[in-house]
Amino acid sequence: MKLIHFEVIDSTSTFLKKNYHCYQNLTFVSAEEQTEGKGRQDKIWSSEKGKNLLFSVLIKNKRLIENYRTISIVSGYAVLEVLKSYGLNNLSIKWPNDVYVNEQKICGILLEAVSTQEIECLIVGIGINVNQRHFAEEYQVEPTSVSSQLARDINLEQFKSAVYSKLIENFKLVEEGYDFYSQVSQYDYLRNRKVYALISNEKKLVKVLGINSDYSLRVIAENKQLDLEAGQVSFSL
Amino acid sequence: MKIYKVKVNGKYYEVEVSAIDEVAGAVRPQPQKAENAVSQGDNVILAPIAGKVLEVKVNVGDMVKKGQTVAIIEAMKLENEIQSAFDGQVSAVNIKKGDDVKNKDELIVLK
């Protein structure tokens, strides 16, 4: 395990993508501010400087890389477990890995990989709202933070240490073949909700039945059950 | 090689017959080369996982360096930067944005 911290960086995930050759498995890179922090498909992830936990972790272990589908959701589950230990309630995982409190997003996760003929490394980029109380107005539903939920400021270093430890613990269990499904599926945010999914380039209203044991998502569309992958659908609630 | 006796206009001849791949240096007929087919010596960039093509970053004719990102494929919210393992010139691009690809599909060919 190696820890690197920047005051300001373009993106912790971009840093690891460019430099993965130089760093070992489980290198954690955090920053107080990201000038080009990003979410899925180049969506901007903005955050007040020094308020939140913004970091990426490099994974080079072959067994963990092979289990990237599990790593994706178990990373969200690790954050959920830490939030629970801080006393937050009504937590859920919005498939495949974002973490919600009630109906508000508190953590976003984006996995990236670098491949030549096979996957060389995984980079798990995680942003958790910790001490930020006010968010830009462009969100449909305002995000929340640990501090907003608990009505007190949080020691960011202690929180970071708890999240890093839980991730390492969960990744070790994945490496050993532990099955997280029964735990993860209890926190399924989308279960029984109706969502719009883009199926074969056609937007359809579907009902979510829940997360499958292979971490795909089972839905009913026009009386037929379908298993969807995150890369094949886009949701609007 | 086999020896056969053949009769031509009432006269017998002995002929030696060899299968074509028994003849050293024989030129074997080649199947018609399909468009975008891979020739010997070409380097093919394969899909490391199944997913959807988010972006294609090269065109036919582009020069590509080893380590250069040529495409991005997404699966399970995993954005996978596909880097070339070779130097070369792009001779075929078999994918476009939005395509679904399977593991080990041939994405891009370099010559």
Whether A194 and A168 share a structural domain: no
Closest alpha carbon within chain B to A215: B76
Whether B77 and A111 lie within 8 Å, measured CB to CB: yes
| CATH for B43-110, options being 1.10.357.10, 1.20.1260.10, 3.40.50.1000, 2.40.50.100 | 2.40.50.100
Is 60 exceeded by the pLDDT of residue B21?
no
What confidence category does residue A136 fall into, taking pLDDT thresholds of 50, 70 and 90? Answer: confident
HEC per residue, A122-163: EEEEEEECCCCCCCCCCCCCCCCCHHHHHCCCCCHHHHHHHH
What is the rounded CA–CA span in Å between residue A207 and residue A192?
Answer: 6
Among residues of chain B, what percentage have pLDDT more than 90?
47
Q: Picking from A47-51, A62-66, B7-11, B82-86, which range would have the lowest pLDDT averaged per residue?
A: B7-11
pLDDT of A39: 65
- Mean pLDDT over A142-169 rounds to 97
Structural domain containing residue A200? 190-236
Whether A168 and A212 share a structural domain: no
- Mean pLDDT over A206-217 rounds to 92
Closest alpha carbon within chain B to A19: B67
Mean pLDDT, chain B, integer = 78
Whether A107 and A167 share a structural domain: yes
- Mean pLDDT over B35-55 rounds to 78
Is 70 exceeded by the pLDDT of residue B82?
yes
Of residues B49, B52, B100, nearest to A119 (C-beta):
B49
CATH of the domain at A228: 2.30.30
Closest alpha carbon within chain A to B74: A231
pLDDT of A7: 96
Among residues of chain A, what percentage have pLDDT more than 70?
93
Number of domain units in chain A: 2
What is the rounded CA–CA span in Å between residue A96 and residue A210?
Answer: 11
CATH of the domain at A152: 3.30.930.10
Whether A101 and A167 share a structural domain: yes
For chain B, which residues make up each domain, given as ranges? 43-110
Closest alpha carbon within chain A to B86: A116
Please state the pTM of the whole predicted model.
0.82
- Inter-chain CB pairs, A–B, below 8 Å: 73
Whether A156 and A217 share a structural domain: no
What confidence category does residue B55 fall into, taking pLDDT thresholds of 50, 70 and 90? Answer: very high
Q: Tell me the backbone φ, ψ of residue A162, rounded to 5 degrees.
A: -65, -40
Are residues B80 and A119 in contact, defined by beta-carbon separation less than 8 angstroms? yes
Whether A231 and B77 lie within 8 Å, measured CB to CB: yes
Whether A199 and A165 share a structural domain: no
Whether A118 and A205 share a structural domain: no
Query: Which has more pLDDT, A160 or A235?
Result: A160
Whether A54 and A149 share a structural domain: yes
Are residues A131 and A145 in contact, defined by beta-carbon separation less than 8 angstroms? yes
Whether A110 and B83 lie within 8 Å, measured CB to CB: no
Which chain B residues have a beta carbon less than 8 Å from that of A68? 49, 76, 78
pLDDT of A230: 67
- Among the three residues A186, A203, A221, which one is the final residue of a domain in this structure? A186
Is 50 exceeded by the pLDDT of residue A194?
yes
Is 80 exceeded by the pLDDT of residue B44?
yes
pLDDT of A169: 98
Tokens of residue B49, six digits? 């996982």
What is the rounded CA–CA span in Å between residue B68 and residue B81?
Answer: 9
B58: left (phi over 0), alpha (psi -120 to 50) or beta: beta
What confidence category does residue A76 fall into, taking pLDDT thresholds of 50, 70 and 90? Answer: very high
Residue of A71, A64, A56, A42 lying closest to A9 (CA atoms): A56
The alpha carbon of residue A221 is apart from the nearest alpha carbon of chain B, in Å, by 20
Is 50 exceeded by the pLDDT of residue B30?
no
Tokens of residue B21, six digits? 């791949």
What is the rounded CA–CA span in Å between residue A107 and residue A98?
Answer: 6
Mean pLDDT, chain A, integer = 91
pLDDT in tens, A22-60: 999 999 999 999 998 876 555 666 688 999 999 999 999
pLDDT of B31: 38
pLDDT of A61: 97
Measured at the CA of A33, the angle between CA A31 and CA A37, to 5 degrees, comes to: 95
pLDDT of B35: 43
Cβ under 8 Å to A: B residues 23-82: 45-46, 48-49, 51-52, 54, 73-82
The alpha carbon of residue A178 is apart from the nearest alpha carbon of chain B, in Å, by 20
Whether A143 and A197 share a structural domain: no
What confidence category does residue B24 fall into, taking pLDDT thresholds of 50, 70 and 90? Answer: very low
Whether A140 and A33 share a structural domain: yes
pLDDT of B25: 44
Whether A99 and A216 share a structural domain: no
- List, in order, residues 6 or more apart from A29 with CB less than 8 Å away: A4, A5, A6, A9, A12, A15, A16, A55, A56, A57, A58
Please state whether beta strands B100-101 and A98-101 pair in parallel, antiparallel, or not at all (unpaired): unpaired
* C-alpha separations of A65 from A115, A119, A124, A180, A236 in Å: 11, 7, 11, 16, 29
Are residues A185 and A211 in contact, defined by beta-carbon separation less than 8 angstroms? yes
Most confident of A142-146, A160-164, B70-74: A160-164
Cβ under 8 Å to B: A residues 62-81: 68-69, 72
Whether A142 and A36 share a structural domain: yes
